[in-house]
Structure 1
């Protein structure tokens, strides 16, 4: 048989490894190899067939499963439902119709849009506040809400990466969106929209500018004349709009001057131009500077970087923020907690602090000191005038009043701060100023003139009214010098009496205004009703508050002078203002129950360097706050210790209970008292009781609580009145000498009269344990009671079960240490006896030594088996200890000069 190719190859391969061997069995060997090869090929073929069959079965099963399995079950998203009530003033696009919503937005002048997610808790909270704002401003602003979470909706597809909900955007007629970043309450939203509706104040005279400076923290005024193009004006308008993303309450007032003559009168020679008028300086931004381009981003950044104010208004955003961080630079901080309702035109309590702050920061070396003083006096007059206005009474009378058409009434429309620029009227003759003052206050001219006795009095009255007229700049007319006279004169008039028109019967060519909603009278009446609606809405939170007035002239003369104090010391007092209505929890954390203080107004100074705080104890007024700052600057204030605020519903605290009753009579039941600043001294000064106080930074741990309770229980079992207590140092301040450097810190106060002086502190490096606290308490007991308590501790060791040998060893050790302690006390008393030369003192020490030797003798005969109540040896030892206690005290008056009272008593 001829060899196959396979066999030949195999032979060739094997021939390389070994030489062929020729013998008689060569033919048989070839046959065996051929049979083995055929068997191997058969097995390989069978294996391949099995694999192919298995593969075909798997493919068949997979195909069958793919064809017959049902599609995966996917739960459908819930159907979108309305987020706002159908009767709400908010248009709810709850299906996410973004194009339809933006179409409506583009068709109105001003709109406010809320992008929300129905499941979001913040969106659910803002829903109510958004609805309130829509109720107030629904006739002037279009309110819309768009569901941007509905799967498959247009809003969700175009905005699928919104980081948080809700998003609040205001849109103007130019379709430019302004993001709202302020507080999510209705009052703040309404204030923000008021600023959006009127981003710029038109300045048409110097009086308008003075009025803005007197009521605003800063005035950014742009000089953009409308000559050939409105490009510069539009840029300045957009800057005023965009600034409301960072200033939602209107601390910066934006104004515009379009008159070239007025700009030249104010010292502007090149336009466009921007001036930022601050309380102590004025900064200028010109378009001619190549480094300062005239565009929105550059101007806005310049305004925000240069804006400073004497009192910073802090508005926490209810998120993780660092609103107070930039003021914690080592200098003290004064915080005014007062209602900062943004809807009121002025906040007198905040305005008063601004006046005081400007005085405090005005250094005598500053060139602008004179202008600052004038500004302070103008602001004071504006504040006092605002305090005297009775808006509630005026709005109540406006309900029953209808617009009137007469010439004298129209004079009421003209305002000194140009609130109604659409009414063009001027007063060029000085004669009308006095009567204009009467008309603006709705007073009766007849009564004003009848109050004068003769012609000279009438002339004097009119001259005073001319000076009282607020249309004239107060700084020029010395208005502040006669303000009190103007006040008295205004009180003598009848503001309720309406002015009767002398020209009502005159013929006129003017059309009747009854059917004209855009007439001057109807527009003015509508605007007054709108202002009253805003005032009533603001009054829902609380009425406007004002500082207390100075009672008499004597108190006015005793006001402390704070001018320039910031330059006299090596520190500067930062002054802040926080809303006490929305953020009262800040005051509660400082231990101030501001919700129960008069007008919810309180002032506190925090000295971060010394970790102290000081609270204004008097009523907030111009005198008290100045005295408060002056006394702090000269270190005349007493430190205020913050403590628990009762019923602080929005503040989490630990240890607010003031139950300081007697401890339980049962030794096994130990009540741990939660201390406050007010109850701390009462507890530690309780006579005859050892107090174990754990001072923790928050809630005390379970180990610390268990240790102090076990130590008190053990001391009570030995006949010592012990009371455990704990205190949260983060919310309750202690006197200086108890300020803890680490937490927990455990104090042990002795039971004798010198409790605070003899207090001891548990070692910081040691683990807190009940045995360590008992040892520390024994040192606080003094030698007289120390021996008796240690004897009771030795007798308290129980012998039971398998631990009997160990307990017996502990008793022996306890007695041995007690004997060593008595020996130490004898040696110390003997040393004092040898050192003194005073006869009476020597006799007293010798008498103490005799009783000590008797105690030592009785103790040497005591065995561990005698440590029980019926033991005669233990009773004898207790009698000796009683005699020692009666003869231990030594009259301090007979002590020698070279021996201190502490050494003798110990």
Structure 2
């Protein structure tokens, strides 16, 4: 056994030796084997690479929770939506991507909107990112989410407003009712007063249930909502000939565009009456709104840039409660804008202002009534749940005898033609026939549990209904309940009334969940005499006309930080700022917001009486006395502290101007710290820096490149100097720059503090040279003085003042020699390192201040 184990290694060595000999003698065989093996490996590896090594995507999960009012289709199916459009006239669809942050944030808002409009409009969501889904195959969206409102007969209407529940609800409701029917001149004036551009069409419904062109006008109104969901061109419809005559509309299917400050336009009869032509014509000829509502989409766009590039812009950032149709603060700003642009006679302008004030007042007063309505509505629903028979109404149709022991009485009310106020506000004219008299009613034995309404299909201009009210047993007709407690016997009217009340309650709930400003929290401003002197029409009397823009402060809250609006101006109160891009200036309204202060603010800008607003960070902590050893400190400056830090009269200040986005500024900071450390011992030199991206500077210090270094010399701040941009910002160059513009005290400090042994040796030679030169001058002056004295002794006259002048020069040179000799003694002292800096500085200052002496050329080492 042992022999076999010993022979095994010998056999292996023999095989290896044989292979090595074979490879050495026949290399071509080895090469062939290598090629075969490589081919096998490459073929195997390529077959592996051909296989799908990516894991398949996970099956999509429902994006919306179970039980929500949204129909979710995570597999991207489109057929259920098409089937739903067969039964529903209107449909709201959100296309989303599950990974998209905006889609995730919009999910909650979309569910809230669906809850408010539940049982009115279906809300659907489709995953348009699932690769195998029909949505991904058919639609190519550039971003998510996308919201569309689909109508049974037209393509989808894209929603481009804020992804907030109240905005979505408002948009869908306006798509449901895109037209406003106008039945009187007052209604037309009220309709026109609310917007700058209005489309009104005349359609005769007496001749046809669907007049020619009406459906095209209806579709055009929806498309105009799509183009601008926040400030669309509103569309109205008149059906009466005498109103059409007032507007100059002769034939049916004619359209007029009414503009506030320009003449009205008629739709060209030569154009085809199609929806696309109508909305394209309206957008082409509309006038610029007096107050333009800007919607910042939340991603990179040119909305705000386009507005500011038009000229000086007045931006009003105010809260909006989009649950209500009245935009309170927008109306306030528009009232000011109407007077600002009132350059020529405008019909009905005073009516427009009064109507706007009336709408705002109704907006504030409606909140209490709506709260009471919801409270009573919930109580009625509870009572109806307990007593379902209270909605029943006893029919009087065909009754020949009175009712006995009845708790129900029905009154037949007829509303006359051309009564244009709502039916709920009209008195009920009881023109009862004899068969419906009090005696007949109480003498009847008929007690049917329902009402037979003979006017199922009635003319809307001649509204008829049956009204019910409660009565007690065996009481007379006059003791019945008040008219306000009567209920309509028309089931459609009752259902519409119930939906109306329930919709108000849902919107009040939405207002609470969205934390929207309640009407009671808005600023009350209804004074008609708010106009400053010479304000009306001032937009046409100056070349500094402002374009007025309105923004929702809750949607555009990032602008508060970007524009550095002071903290007291929160998103709950309107903030006003003027942005003058051409002059690179911003101005902020600092008084409490009102129409009067806004008008005065505009007037002050026109008269150049406003102070420019400088954006500023919070003040930074200053460099205190806590520095130890070789520590250095660079003072951070803001717009608020700029004057107190940089403009200190006793200090030389070096200011570094940077920006947060500047990459080279970060790399240069190390050099700037070295520079401050080099001059660390200089007591009257301060190093500071400021972030110009967050802090506005005054005009004279505004720069267009970063980093930039400014030097402010002591006692001469007006002579500030910029470091040349054509020189490298190296440490030697920066030191030369500072010393070249520094005061004598700073130069002295630097000479004393940084002068090395080589510097001392160099200056010793310079002092010896200067001493020799000064002594030669002294000898020359002394010789000339002696010469003059000898001439005077011989009785000769001397030039006037010559002797006194020579003595003054002699004393000056003598003083310089004394200072230079003392400096020479100090420089040649063996204890130079222990010399007091104050002593050196004293003599250096005396020498450097001498403009005639060459000693001022003493300098420290160049690095």
User: TM-score, normalised to structure 1's length?
Assistant: 0.68
Structure 1 residue 84 and structure 2 residue 48: aligned? no
Q: Does the 8 Å contact 1:275/1:282 carry over to 2?
A: no
Partner SS state of residue 620, structure 2: coil
Partner SS state of residue 869, structure 1: helix
* CA displacement, residues 657-682 of structure 1 (integer Å, 9 cap, x when unaligned): 62224264225322333322112222
TM superposition shift of 1:98: 1.6
- 2:601 aligns to what? 628
Q: Does the 8 Å contact 1:691/1:748 carry over to 2?
A: yes
TM superposition shift of 1:136: 1.5
Q: Does the 8 Å contact 1:712/1:722 carry over to 2?
A: no
TM superposition shift of 1:436: 5.7
- 2:721 aligns to what? 760
Relative to structure 1, the CA distance from residue 164 to residue 503 in structure 2 (aligned partners, 3 Å threshold; closer, same or farther) is farther
Q: Does the 8 Å contact 1:794/1:811 carry over to 2?
A: no
In structure 2, how many angstroms separate the alpha carbons of the residues matched to 1:424 and 1:851? 121
Residue correspondence of structure 1 range 533-572 to structure 2 within 5 A: 533-539=506-512, 540-544=514-518, 548=523, 559-572=532-545
Q: Does the 8 Å contact 1:588/1:594 carry over to 2?
A: no
Structure 1 residue 606 and structure 2 residue 579: aligned? yes
Structure 1 residue 790 and structure 2 residue 750: aligned? yes
* CA displacement, residues 751-785 of structure 1 (integer Å, 9 cap, x when unaligned): x5x363353332232222344444444455422x1
- 2:677 aligns to what? 713
Structure 1 residue 744 and structure 2 residue 712: aligned? no
Relative to structure 1, the CA distance from residue 438 to residue 855 in structure 2 (aligned partners, 3 Å threshold; closer, same or farther) is farther
Relative to structure 1, the CA distance from residue 547 to residue 569 in structure 2 (aligned partners, 3 Å threshold; closer, same or farther) is farther
Relative to structure 1, the CA distance from residue 299 to residue 789 in structure 2 (aligned partners, 3 Å threshold; closer, same or farther) is same
- 1:443 aligns to what? none
TM superposition shift of 1:201: 1.0
Structure 1 residue 695 and structure 2 residue 664: aligned? no
- 2:223 aligns to what? 242
TM superposition shift of 1:616: 0.8
* Residue range with higher mean Cα deviation, 567-576 or 659-668: 659-668
- 1:154 aligns to what? 134
Residue correspondence of structure 1 range 504-515 to structure 2 within 5 A: 505=479
Relative to structure 1, the CA distance from residue 72 to residue 272 in structure 2 (aligned partners, 3 Å threshold; closer, same or farther) is closer
Relative to structure 1, the CA distance from residue 56 to residue 609 in structure 2 (aligned partners, 3 Å threshold; closer, same or farther) is closer
In structure 1, how many angstroms separate the alpha carbons of the residues matched to 2:710 and 2:642? 12
In structure 2, how many angstroms separate the alpha carbons of the residues matched to 1:238 and 1:817? 98
Q: Does the 8 Å contact 1:693/1:746 carry over to 2?
A: yes
* CA displacement, residues 696-730 of structure 1 (integer Å, 9 cap, x when unaligned): 2435513432233222212123x425443222222
Structure 1 residue 680 and structure 2 residue 642: aligned? yes
2:762 to 804, 808, 812: 812
Unaligned runs of 5+ in 1: 1-52, 408-422, 440-501, 645-655, 800-807, 828-836, 838-842, 889-906
Structure 1 residue 93 and structure 2 residue 73: aligned? yes
* CA displacement, residues 114-136 of structure 1 (integer Å, 9 cap, x when unaligned): 12222333322222221121121
Relative to structure 1, the CA distance from residue 211 to residue 297 in structure 2 (aligned partners, 3 Å threshold; closer, same or farther) is same
Relative to structure 1, the CA distance from residue 550 to residue 302 in structure 2 (aligned partners, 3 Å threshold; closer, same or farther) is closer
* CA displacement, residues 215-254 of structure 1 (integer Å, 9 cap, x when unaligned): 3343222223333454400000101111222121254222
In structure 2, how many angstroms separate the alpha carbons of the residues matched to 1:99 and 1:186? 27
- 1:296 aligns to what? 275
In structure 2, how many angstroms separate the alpha carbons of the residues matched to 1:86 and 1:582? 29
In structure 2, how many angstroms separate the alpha carbons of the residues matched to 1:355 and 1:61? 83
- 2:688 aligns to what? 725
2:697 to 717, 725, 734: 734
Partner SS state of residue 55, structure 2: coil
- 1:192 aligns to what? 171
* CA displacement, residues 779-801 of structure 1 (integer Å, 9 cap, x when unaligned): 55422x13421322442x4x7xx
- 1:390 aligns to what? 367
Structure 1 residue 313 and structure 2 residue 284: aligned? no
Residue correspondence of structure 1 range 290-689 to structure 2 within 5 A: 292-307=271-286, 308-329=288-309, 331-363=311-343, 366=344, 368-391=345-368, 393-395=371-373, 397-400=375-378, 402=380, 425=415, 505=479, 518-539=491-512, 540-544=514-518, 548=523, 559-593=532-566, 596-597=569-570, 599-644=572-617, 658-662=620-624, 664-686=626-648, 688-689=650-651
* CA displacement, residues 567-600 of structure 1 (integer Å, 9 cap, x when unaligned): 1112321111111111121232111046853733
Number of aligned residue pairs:
703
TM superposition shift of 1:732: 1.2
- 1:769 aligns to what? 730
In structure 2, how many angstroms separate the alpha carbons of the residues matched to 1:776 and 1:116? 60
Partner SS state of residue 169, structure 1: strand
Partner SS state of residue 277, structure 2: helix
- 1:201 aligns to what? 180
- 1:256 aligns to what? 237
RMSD: 4.6
Q: Does the 8 Å contact 2:557/2:571 carry over to 1?
A: no
In structure 2, how many angstroms separate the alpha carbons of the residues matched to 1:347 and 1:558? 21
In structure 1, how many angstroms separate the alpha carbons of the residues matched to 2:707 and 2:732? 17
- 2:121 aligns to what? 141
In structure 1, how many angstroms separate the alpha carbons of the residues matched to 2:275 and 2:371? 43
- 1:109 aligns to what? 89
In structure 1, how many angstroms separate the alpha carbons of the residues matched to 2:354 and 2:527? 20
Partner SS state of residue 355, structure 1: helix
* CA displacement, residues 454-502 of structure 1 (integer Å, 9 cap, x when unaligned): xxxxxxxxxxxxxxxxxxxxxxxxxxxxxxxxxxxxxxxxxxxxxxxx9
Partner SS state of residue 380, structure 2: coil
TM superposition shift of 1:102: 1.8
Q: Does the 8 Å contact 1:699/1:728 carry over to 2?
A: no
Partner SS state of residue 632, structure 1: helix
TM superposition shift of 1:566: 1.4
Q: Does the 8 Å contact 2:212/2:253 carry over to 1?
A: no
Partner SS state of residue 583, structure 2: coil
Partner SS state of residue 641, structure 2: helix
TM superposition shift of 1:74: 5.6
In structure 2, how many angstroms separate the alpha carbons of the residues matched to 1:533 and 1:303? 35
TM superposition shift of 1:145: 1.2
Relative to structure 1, the CA distance from residue 310 to residue 330 in structure 2 (aligned partners, 3 Å threshold; closer, same or farther) is closer
* Residue range with higher mean Cα deviation, 557-566 or 620-629: 557-566
Relative to structure 1, the CA distance from residue 780 to residue 850 in structure 2 (aligned partners, 3 Å threshold; closer, same or farther) is farther
In structure 2, how many angstroms separate the alpha carbons of the residues matched to 1:249 and 1:310? 14
In structure 1, how many angstroms separate the alpha carbons of the residues matched to 2:733 and 2:129? 61
Relative to structure 1, the CA distance from residue 426 to residue 268 in structure 2 (aligned partners, 3 Å threshold; closer, same or farther) is same
* CA displacement, residues 241-274 of structure 1 (integer Å, 9 cap, x when unaligned): 1122212125422211233332123321133222
Relative to structure 1, the CA distance from residue 579 to residue 504 in structure 2 (aligned partners, 3 Å threshold; closer, same or farther) is farther
TM superposition shift of 1:344: 2.4
Partner SS state of residue 93, structure 2: strand
